[in-house]
Amino acid sequence: MGCAASKKVSVEQLQYNAGEGGRSTSAAAPVGKVTQIVTVTGAGGFIGTEVVSQLLAKGVQVNACVRKIGGPKYAHLEKLAAALPGTLKFFEADLTAPGSFDKACEGAEYVHHVASPFDLWNEDPDKEIIDPAINGTINILQAVAKARCVRRVVLTSSVFGCVNLLAPKPPENSTTGLYDEADWSDDVTPEMYRDPAPETRLLAYAISKPMAEKKAWELSKELGIDLVTICPALVFGPQIGSNSLSNSILMGMIAGAPDPGFTNAMCPAVDVRDVARAHMVAAEKPEAEGRYIISLPDTANQLTINKILNKNFPMDFSLPEDLENAPEKPMFDTKKCNALIGPLIGMNEMVADTARAMMTLGQFPPPT
């Protein structure tokens, strides 16, 4: 693994055999007194990495659940651990394997369940997207119940859990015309998300979020687990590790291949740093409860992004500003989340910081 000299990173590699529990071997031991243990699933992903970063900055031990230990994919997490005061411990875990998260949850005070497939399906939407999302939720909550030490689980859901953004219907539970935490998206059928047409391949993800979240609420009540869910809009923001599907939309805009959803429509957005901060606060504030929609107040479109990029960089991107986009307007009632965590990073700062991070990582060249 990278950063091999660091004593702040240790490994618990779990191997699963039919009828047997996890078997663990420790490659190194954390240094210093551990004051708090927090488990993060999906630790190497876009949101998960930011959650890990903010936890390490607080000085805690992070039990980081990843698909496979070793190789360069999670080297960015090791670098974070070397630079920040907390301690990182890797656990190899599989969303679909019962018992997979048991060791990672032992001794944990909080669990952040971030892992869930976020992609377009290729061959089988149920096997690739739906089943891992639901089974991963079941397996992490069962692990928490076995651990008997976890004070609260914070689960990353999505605004897709409240409304199908690909074909939004009017909110049913609001007098303001805005979607809120009482709304649920349940209008995507198996026939719809199994349609192999390119424009419908995100529907499996769209319906996986409310399905997994509803299962989480059902099972948490059954097992007596304190659960809070965070429902973010499309997540942009500076990335630390590998590229995210949402940030790839911004890359497409800059490269002259904008996503059709931004060209002719509007989309709600939020910064990954605020999503992770919402996870931190929701875990630690006793009064946090239920669901929290986290989104900037106004929706974004291609024209908005173009103007921000043209304005913020000394070398002009020269992106067109004569587009006929859908009007920007509020879409979600975010009062509940705003009361919990305070003001969010604005659209201008979010987009500019995202572009700078991509340039730094060499994901696209700066304008010339």
Flag whether 250 is in a domain. Answer: no
Is there a domain that residue 35 lies in? yes
The stretch 228-237 carries a mean pLDDT of 95
Strand partners, 360: none
pLDDT of residue 13: 45
**How many domains does one find in the chain?**
1
> What is the per-residue pLDDT across 147-204, written as a single tens digit (0 to 9) for each?
999 999 999 999 999 998 878 888 887 788 899 999 999 888 887 878 777 667 778 8
Phi first, then psi, for residue 208 (nearest 5°) are -65, -30
Identify whether the C-beta of residue 230 lies closer than 8 Å to the C-beta of residue 279: yes
In a domain, 307, yes or no: no
The confidence score (pLDDT) of residue 20 equals 32
Say if residue 360's pLDDT is above 50: yes
H-helix segments, 91-234: 102-105, 125, 131-147, 190-193, 203-223
Q: Are 228 and 153 in contact (CB under 8 A)?
A: yes
Residue 32 above 70 pLDDT?
A: no
In a domain, 368, yes or no: no
CATH number of residue 17's parent domain: 3.40.50.720
- The lowest-confidence range among 24-33, 316-325, 328-337, 340-349 is 24-33
What integer is the mean pLDDT of 325-351?
90
**Is 219 inside a domain boundary?**
yes
Give Cβ neighbours of residue 184 (< 8 Å, ≥ 6 apart).
161, 162, 210, 214
- Is 258 part of any domain? no
pLDDT of residue 178: 93
| Contact assessment for residue 300 and residue 164, using Cβ atoms and an 8 Å cutoff | no
Contact between 113 and 156 under an 8 Å Cβ cutoff? The reply is: yes
Question: Average model confidence (pLDDT) for the chain?
Answer: 84
> Residues of the chain with pLDDT > 90: what percent?
54
DSSP string, 285-323: -TT--EEEEE--SB-B-HHHHHHHHHHH-SS--------
User: How confident is the model at residue 122, as a pLDDT?
Assistant: 75
Of 25-29, 205-209, 268-272, the range with the highest mean pLDDT is: 268-272
Mean pLDDT of 24-46: 68
The residue segments making up the domain with residue 165 are 9-237+269-296+332-346
Question: Which tens digits make up the pLDDT trace of 261-309?
Answer: 555 556 789 999 999 999 999 999 999 999 999 999 888 777 788 888 8
With 70 as the cut, is the pLDDT of residue 139 above it?
Answer: yes
- On whether residue 322 sits in a domain, the answer given is no
Side chain identity, residue 354: T
pTM, 2 dp = 0.88
Alpha carbon dihedral 90, 96, 101, 102, in 10-degree steps, equals: -140
**Chain centre distance of CA 198:** 23
Find the helix or strand (DSSP H, E) in which 264 lies: none
Type of residue at 297: P
Q: Is residue 319 part of a domain?
A: no
